[in-house]
Structure 1
Amino acid sequence: MVEPLNAAETDIAVVGAGIVGVACALQLARQGRRVLLMDREPPGHGASFGNAGHLATEQVFPIADLSILKRLPSMLMDPMGPLRLDWKYLPKAMPWFTRLLLNLRPAPFQRSVAGIRALNEGSLAAWQRLLGSIGRSDLFKEEGSLLVFERNESRQALAALQARMQQQAVPAEYWSADSVRATAPQLSRSILGGLFFPRTGHFIDPYRVVCELFEAAKASGVRFVRAHVDGGHLHGSGVSLASDQGTFTARQVLISCGAQSAKLTAALTGKRVPLDTERGYHLMLPGEHQRLPFAVTSLERKFIMTPMADGLRLAGTVEFAGLDAPPSMQRAWQLHRLSKGLFQQDLDAEGATPWMGLRPSLPDSLPVIDQVCEGRVMLAFGHQHLGLTQAAVTAEWVGRLAEQERGPQMEAYRLDRF
């Protein structure tokens, strides 16, 4: 374990070494800050390890709409459904779901859309700058993504989605079945067409992206200590952080530890944040390397398939069961069952590995990106399933906050909106 810097030598302690935290640590170090990065796990573990790998700039709508009310009974009854709520967790989740429903009213819903879109619109260029700056642009493929459908009755829903995308200035091209097969010939003839999103892309190894950014951060002077930070307090000269490795002090702290961020935020700011976690699953198929040219999502089956350096990653499903419940890996294996019929030949699951991670979500689907407590506490968490997409632009915005350059575009992500 690397010994931490002492209080006089640490400008900013970044708590959380996922994709957002590591990107922020690198940005702050490049701005001349002496940065200490802290996490209970090595960099890149947790949700950053197993995300879908899709740069989802097209996903500008909140995580739910009013149809969630109709789906609530099936959420409670179907353990393998694409959206599941553990009935034992329901009492604890009800305040969060109540806030979610209140945010589905027209005015707050549109504020959420505008906030997500503002981050997403800057995400692609920010990632190009960040990966270019470390010489690893090869880890990202800007080749678009495709949403396919298989049922005639889905045509109307697809057309409505395309219209909504156009209203939000999101490029979306309708592809016929012939166009789909010409580009992805291994897909099944049951596919009737789809929407192609040209201003999206995918990462060929999301974990490697974090590792490469971490190496660049270390080269820029960032120190790392493996410690579980579980509390802290503010004092005249900065911040003290309590951990299982002792107490660490710094002039400022950046809380960016994903689903674990609420407790530390409350300890340091006195503010209770309505943060819950979407438990996401993936199944990695190491024997599949030539099936798809880019990420493909099924409209009806509600999961995504992303080609990566180590195979094909099937990802999706949302499960609300809290931080501590054990994973239900059958949900990961269900993704392979969902893939049957999408290809002319079924996918090879030999050697497949399942995974579950915790995606931090706030009820308005917007992250917190803010600086509070006279500048001693910075915040960057709650990106829900868009953490990878928005990490690079979030790091740039955190860099501006550190320089006291809060722009009007940052108002939607303030902590005091709760």
Structure 2
Amino acid sequence: MANFDTDIAVVGAGIVGVACALQLARQGKRVLLLDRQAPGHGASWGNAGHLATEQVFPIADLSILKRLPSMLMDPMGPLRLDWKYLPRALPWFTRLLLNLRPVPFGRSVAGIRALNEGSLGAWQRLLGCIGRLDLLREDGSLLVFERPESRVALQALCGRMQQQGVAVDGWSAQQVREAAPQLSEALQGGLFFPRTGHFIDPYRVVNALFEAALAAGVQFSSREVTGGRLQGDGVCLASSQGQVRARQVLVACGAHSATLVKALTGKAVPLDTERGYHLMLPAEHGRLPFAVTSLERKFIMTPMTDGLRLAGTVEFAGLDAPPSMQRAWQLHRLSQGMFKQDLNADGATPWMGFRPSLPDSLPVIDRVADGRVLLAFGHQHLGLTQAALTGEWVGRLAGGGDCAGAYRLDRF
């Protein structure tokens, strides 16, 4: 391949792909960003907006075994597995359970923690360099509980987080009321995480980074990448608008990454999707000063420029099944009783997106094929949180740097 269309083709224009594209362009590379959708229109458009640096534990623990029957039976539960998808999901769940053994579980915690510990600083650097620190509120977040019998579980969680170096403060019911007076007085207390925050609109974050990337020389092409192969000293991608020849390719297309990774590396990656839902309430402003999560109800409420976003639930049903928007509306029902006056759902809009998840809860951030193929996908619930730091790491990988073993492709 004597002639290249670009130095590096970045496949995927979500928050991770755009952050990486900007970083690579700032390093002087010619970057072509490819996606069948406009930037930020996948999972990055509708996530909870929470900078979740406190979430250092894997997506599941051994209690999932007790919940499997209810997952199959309750279509509105916080964790749902579509029984029709069970045969396809079974190998992934088997790997998930194997990773809950003490040694691999500890490895996952260490890997998540290493990413999360650097994430706030990375976001400060990234938004600072484009002059958009206003998009991030570094005001902490709160986990609340309602039932007196939940106090023991909350205290145990607090202890586990402190052991992992997470900054956390126990709050009484009075402290919760003082900080967020519109919340119900029935709340018993909670945990406050001062080193977290929230974005005022995740889609605006992607757009701001994308505009900065264009200004730095990144080219964007709206096309679907349908395959690829190593060729000569570069990579040839097949797309809906013809071939793209590049010295390097970065696969950063989230839940859609597995097929392209297999084509380029021959490696079958155990990637599945956790379908997440949100309900946006445009009539709600000023109810909360920061993101609030319910321990028992298992959902999060994040104040944003355009209203209050209720997000949560996990559904395993694959990439092809239609969304079940009743799950999004269920979030409004879950909010009832959390406030002194129920939330206004006038004009509310539901949404569903795909979280890319690997069974050890760690992303793949790696360079393979003699550096021709870079990988950055599988961030599960933490794509927004970890995107800025992932961009910095990918920048080092593109220049020949090594990847930490916890995130390597060959761990599978």
Q: Same-fold call, TM > 0.5?
A: yes
Q: Give the match for residue 287 of structure 2.
A: 291
Structure 2 residue corresponding to 1:306, chosen from 302, 306, 319: 302
> TM-score, normalised to structure 1's length?
0.98
Shift of 1:52: 0.1
Structure 1 residue corresponding to 2:411, chosen from 406, 411, 417: 417
Q: Give the match for residue 67 of structure 1.
A: 63
Give the superposed CA RMSD. Answer: 0.8
The residue matched to 1:158 in structure 2 has which SS? helix
Q: Give the match for residue 131 of structure 1.
A: 127
Given that residues 5 and 245 in structure 2 are in contact (C-alpha distance below 8 angstroms), is that contact kept between their aligned partners in structure 1? no
Structure 2 residue corresponding to 1:319, chosen from 297, 315, 332: 315
Shift of 1:237: 2.8
The separation in 2 between residues aligned to 1:269 and 1:411, in whole angstroms, is: 18
Q: Does 1:158 align with 2:125?
A: no
Q: Give the match for residue 210 of structure 1.
A: 206
Shift of 1:8: 2.7
Shift of 1:7: 4.7
- Please give the per-residue CA displacement for 1:257-310, whole angstroms capped at 9, x wherever unaligned: 000000000000000000000000000000101100000000000000000000
Aligned positions of 1:338-349 closer than 5 A: 338-349=334-345
- Please give the per-residue CA displacement for 1:35-81, whole angstroms capped at 9, x wherever unaligned: 00000100001100000000000000000000000000000000000
Structure 2 residue corresponding to 1:393, chosen from 389, 393, 407: 389
User: Which runs of 5 or more residues in structure 2 are unaligned?
Assistant: none
Q: Give the match for residue 230 of structure 1.
A: 226
Shift of 1:341: 0.2
The separation in 1 between residues aligned to 2:410 and 2:206, in whole angstroms, is: 30
The residue matched to 2:405 in structure 1 has which SS? helix
Given that residues 145 and 296 in structure 2 are in contact (C-alpha distance below 8 angstroms), is that contact kept between their aligned partners in structure 1? yes
- Please give the per-residue CA displacement for 1:312-335, whole angstroms capped at 9, x wherever unaligned: 000000000000000000000000
- Please give the per-residue CA displacement for 1:174-196, whole angstroms capped at 9, x wherever unaligned: 00000000010000011010000
Q: Which amino acid aligns with 1:237?
A: D
The separation in 2 between residues aligned to 1:137 and 1:109, in whole angstroms, is: 35
Change (3 A) 1:374 1:332: same
Q: Which amino acid aligns with 2:344?
A: D
Q: Give the match for residue 264 of structure 2.
A: 268
Q: Which amino acid aligns with 2:188?
A: L
The separation in 1 between residues aligned to 2:246 and 2:143, in whole angstroms, is: 46
Shift of 1:9: 4.3
Shift of 1:247: 1.1
Q: Which amino acid aligns with 1:51?
A: N
Q: Does 1:90 align with 2:86?
A: yes
Q: Does 1:120 align with 2:116?
A: yes
Q: Which amino acid aligns with 1:331?
A: R
Q: Which amino acid aligns with 1:129?
A: R
The separation in 2 between residues aligned to 1:33 and 1:193, in whole angstroms, is: 50
> TM-score, normalised to structure 2's length?
0.99
The separation in 2 between residues aligned to 1:9 and 1:134, in whole angstroms, is: 27
The separation in 1 between residues aligned to 2:66 and 2:157, in whole angstroms, is: 20
Structure 1 residue corresponding to 2:245, chosen from 242, 249, 255: 249
Shift of 1:404: 1.3
Q: Give the match for residue 366 of structure 2.
A: 370
Q: Give the match for residue 359 of structure 1.
A: 355
Q: Give the match for residue 376 of structure 2.
A: 380
User: Which runs of 5 or more residues in structure 1 are unaligned?
Assistant: 1-5
Q: Give the match for residue 327 of structure 2.
A: 331
Shift of 1:245: 1.2
The separation in 2 between residues aligned to 1:340 and 1:214, in whole angstroms, is: 37
The separation in 2 between residues aligned to 1:67 and 1:7, in whole angstroms, is: 54
Q: Does 1:77 align with 2:73?
A: yes
The residue matched to 1:251 in structure 2 has which SS? strand
Structure 2 residue corresponding to 1:195, chosen from 188, 191, 195: 191
Given that residues 233 and 239 in structure 1 are in contact (C-alpha distance below 8 angstroms), is that contact kept between their aligned partners in structure 2? yes
The separation in 1 between residues aligned to 2:95 and 2:323, in whole angstroms, is: 26
Change (3 A) 1:67 1:7: farther
The aligned length equals 411
Given that residues 172 and 189 in structure 2 are in contact (C-alpha distance below 8 angstroms), is that contact kept between their aligned partners in structure 1? yes
Shift of 1:405: 1.9
Q: Which amino acid aligns with 1:70?
A: K
Runs of 4+ aligned structure 1 residues displaced above 3 Å come to none
Q: Which amino acid aligns with 2:142?
A: L
Q: Give the match for residue 177 of structure 2.
A: 181
The separation in 1 between residues aligned to 2:226 and 2:382, in whole angstroms, is: 25
The separation in 1 between residues aligned to 2:394 and 2:298, in whole angstroms, is: 33
Shift of 1:411: 1.4
The residue matched to 2:118 in structure 1 has which SS? helix
Q: Give the match for residue 8 of structure 1.
A: 4
Given that residues 296 and 305 in structure 1 are in contact (C-alpha distance below 8 angstroms), is that contact kept between their aligned partners in structure 2? yes
- Please give the per-residue CA displacement for 1:17-41, whole angstroms capped at 9, x wherever unaligned: 0000000000000001000000010
- Please give the per-residue CA displacement for 1:233-268, whole angstroms capped at 9, x wherever unaligned: 101131111111111110100000000000000000
Q: Which amino acid aligns with 1:417?
A: R
Given that residues 7 and 251 in structure 1 are in contact (C-alpha distance below 8 angstroms), is that contact kept between their aligned partners in structure 2? no
The separation in 1 between residues aligned to 2:286 and 2:266, in whole angstroms, is: 51
Q: Give the match for residue 3 of structure 1.
A: none
The residue matched to 1:179 in structure 2 has which SS? helix
The separation in 2 between residues aligned to 1:209 and 1:263, in whole angstroms, is: 28
The separation in 1 between residues aligned to 2:117 and 2:132, in whole angstroms, is: 22
Shift of 1:349: 0.1
The residue matched to 1:300 in structure 2 has which SS? coil
